Structure 1
């Protein structure tokens, strides 16, 4: 795990493009760490394989968790920017990631439709993500949760609903 931590710290200090390196390097770092652990305990080949698979799975799960949190951060920023807008209004949005698993993102968000019934207050949005030479466009839904606007598209809901989505 020491190698994985060193890789993570090196990437945190590097440019945001390090996300791809982390994705590819997680398995390699886990393999190196598990080999060191297996050697330290004098494990057999079968035990070394088991340790390697377990460490690699744990490292990947940790990286995927960090990536989900990064995505959630961007989604919350977008929802917060879109929440106060009326249909047809446009605002800027941006997110600066503290750990550069993904590059910082920015663009514009517009509300295209309001969906309200009783206490349900949602908005359909179109947003852009600006890249150096182009813009990508996406659609999503955000809903009010008390005083906070939250992302309401399927991605975060799968965390709560599992395979029902």
Structure 2
């Protein structure tokens, strides 16, 4: 029985890599296979595997959204008080050595409205051994004085968990 469980586990790991690039999919397949073998109930194994996949996928998406939000806040606050045309370097480092990025940001123009003060920014994200492409976006000053990314996800708070 133990040999069958190990073979099923190895097969699920191999097949999950072919069918999905999701961490949740691979984790769900492994946990589902082991659970089904341990309980001798394939339905229970499937249900547990699907549940684990959903939880892992949701957690990974949440963490990536939070990291992107942190990066956008660092960039927006770096550019918030810059004079037009001046370039400032920005950098974000996470507790895990994944998704650490850096680049430059420059204010291109001011956009004043009766509601708030906004700025159009030009920014780069530097990659090793590659030219840094330039992007544009808008940042706006919030009522609390903080600058926030105005147009890009995930910093647009109105979407909450729907992103």
Per the normalisation by structure 2, the TM-score is 0.75
RMSD across aligned C-alpha pairs, in angstroms? Answer: 2.4
CA drift of 1:154 comes to 3.0
Match of 2:133, SS?
strand
Q: Write the distance in 1 (CA, Å) between the matches of 2:159 and 2:25.
A: 29
Match of 1:141, SS?
strand
Q: Does 1:62 align with 2:64?
A: no
Give the number of aligned pairs. Answer: 140
> Could you say which residue in structure 2 is the equivalent of 1:74?
71
Q: Write the distance in 2 (CA, Å) between the matches of 1:65 and 1:157.
A: 12
Q: Structure 2: which 5+ runs fail to align?
A: 1-20
> Could you say which residue in structure 1 is the equivalent of 2:87?
90
> Could you say which residue in structure 1 is the equivalent of 2:117?
121
Change (3 A) 1:158 1:79: closer
Q: Structure 1: which 5+ runs fail to align?
A: 1-22
Bigger drift between 133-142 and 149-158 goes to 149-158
CA drift of 1:24 comes to 4.1
Larger Rg: 2
Q: Write the distance in 2 (CA, Å) between the matches of 1:45 and 1:93.
A: 51
Contact 2:34 2:45 in 1 (8 A): no
Between the two structures, name the one with larger relative contact order (CA 8 Å, sep ≥ 6): 1
> Could you say which residue in structure 1 is the equivalent of 2:42?
45
